[in-house]
């Protein structure tokens, strides 16, 4: 079955569950599930029930699609994302973005936990992504091309919407939230990086490192969806501080950051 045929199956299933036609989508990263609780007229669908979706298996990712209204905007929230390191293909982990495009999503906000490479950053800081380095060794556009998805060779010069970045930065400043604009480097995971790798990534120009975002960003950009990525520094990357890294730290920082990040997202949703 072609991916476009699967998307039609998924769309039909979702539209049977709700009359709301979302225009804005948010993908919530580790520890940020709370925002979905604010959605009005919410329909909640576990990924396990959605045709052709795969399950999220990571702690801190609920694995639920939430569709409803937030500040009178029709919204779709992925409460938990799917990662390459879970063993899925690039096409499987980006399938939800393909579905978003099919549903008519115009704007996509990705959130994620990241390790800080830039030594000016601190755990808890917000980073608005302006560009990325794909270090996964793969690309979600590889394989058979379906013309309805967009160009076969899409330009990647301006993946992240500059207008949305500047608007978000302005909002964050008004809320007193410490925010940076930086470059995201994506790895396969699930092991954290070595101190030597982090040194190399800094020389390449990366400010933060993570195990998501980039595959979704590539597909969203090919699909002509306006894209914003808001990352939060959950920990400093390996070798910067004299301590080891843990997923528990990521979850805990997510809980601490969630209040200010949710206030930022709420104000942003009001204004876009």
Query: So which residues are the catalytic ones?
Result: 30, 61, 83, 85-86, 113, 211-212, 235, 247
State the sign of the Cα–Cα–Cα–Cα dihedral 216, 220, 221, 223: positive
Pairing between strand 64-70 and 73-79? Answer: antiparallel
In our burial notation (b when 16+ CB lie closer than 10 A, e otherwise), range 89-123 reads ebbbbbbbbbbbbbbebebbbbbbbbbbbbeebeb
Residue linked to tokens 């801190």: 60
In our burial notation (b when 16+ CB lie closer than 10 A, e otherwise), range 11-47 reads eebbeeebebebebbbbbbbbbbebbebbeebeebeb
């Amino acid at each position: 079955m072609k991916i476009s045929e699967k998307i039609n199956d998924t769309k039909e299933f979702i539209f049977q569950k709700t009359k709301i036609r979302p225009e804005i989508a948010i993908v919530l990263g580790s520890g940020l599930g709370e925002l979905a609780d604010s959605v009005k007229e919410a329909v909640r669908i576990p990924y396990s029930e959605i045709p052709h979706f795969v399950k999220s298996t990571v702690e801190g990712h609920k694995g639920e699609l939430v569709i409803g209204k937030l500040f009178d905007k029709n919204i779709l929230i992925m409460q938990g994302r799917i990662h390459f390191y879970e063993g899925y293909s690039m096409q499987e982990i980006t399938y939800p973005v393909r579905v978003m495009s099919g549903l008519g999503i115009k704007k996509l906000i990705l959130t994620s936990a990241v390790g800080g490479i830039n030594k000016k950053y601190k755990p808890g800081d917000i980073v608005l992504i302006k560009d990325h380095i794909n270090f996964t060794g793969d690309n979600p556009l590889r394989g058979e091309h379906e013309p309805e998805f967009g160009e076969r060779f899409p330009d990647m010069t301006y993946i992240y919407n500059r207008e949305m970045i500047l608007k978000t930065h302005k909002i964050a400043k008004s809320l007193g939230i410490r925010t940076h604009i930086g470059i995201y480097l994506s790895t396969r995971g699930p092991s954290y990086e070595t101190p030597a790798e982090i040194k190399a990534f800094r020389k390449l120009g990366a400010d933060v490192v993570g195990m998501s975002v980039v595959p979704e960003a590539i597909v969203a950009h090919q699909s002509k969806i306006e894209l914003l990525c808001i990352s939060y520094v959950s920990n400093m990357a390996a070798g910067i501080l004299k301590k080891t890294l843990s997923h528990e730290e990521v979850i805990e920082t997510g809980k601490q950051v969630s209040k200010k990040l949710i206030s930022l997202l709420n104000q942003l949703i009001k204004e876009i």
